[in-house]
Structure 1
């Protein structure tokens, strides 16, 4: 990815973080906050933005996995289940 694309992704993920904070889910973002980098810091390196994206992605996934009410924490398991079924159907058609 180019640096400008990473910054766009970083911006989107930061918006998700702000939405979670608005909902009262803010205890999970200490790792990202400790980096002291935001999408507005365009002077920072591509590697720094990439690292921030990975840390923020992990923090968002952690916040989602703690959601017991909606079952979002099972999303990864469900997607794996669906992928397995789809690959089984592909094997049967060949």
Structure 2
């Protein structure tokens, strides 16, 4: 990805974080906050934005996985199962 695309993704993820905070979800995002980088810091390096995306993504996944009502905690496992099923059947061209 190009730096501007990473910044766009970082912006979207930061908006999701702010929404969770606004909704009162009890999560501190310590690791992400310790990076001291936001999508507005366009002067920061591509690598720093990429690290922020991965750290924030991990934090957001942790928040979501605690929500037992939505079943999102099982999404990764289900996607892995689907990938294995499709892989075992082979890809058919249409």
- CA–CA separation in structure 2 for the residues paired with 1:80 and 1:19: 28
Counterpart of 1:78?
78
Counterpart of 1:27 in 2: which secondary structure? coil
Kept in 2: contact 1:7–1:39 (CA 8 A):
yes
Matched, 1:25 2:25: yes
Counterpart of 2:4 in 1: which secondary structure? helix
When residues 27 and 38 of structure 1 are mapped into structure 2, their CA distance, relative to the original with a 3 A threshold, is same
Counterpart of 1:66?
66
* Count of residue correspondences: 93
| Length-normalised TM-score, structure 2 | 0.87
Deviation at 1:8, TM superposition (A): 0.6
Counterpart of 2:51?
51
Deviation at 1:20, TM superposition (A): 1.4
More displaced, 27-36 or 65-74? 27-36
| Length-normalised TM-score, structure 1 | 0.87
Unaligned runs of 5+ in 1: none
Deviation at 1:89, TM superposition (A): 2.0
Q: CA RMSD in A?
A: 1.8
When residues 87 and 40 of structure 1 are mapped into structure 2, their CA distance, relative to the original with a 3 A threshold, is same
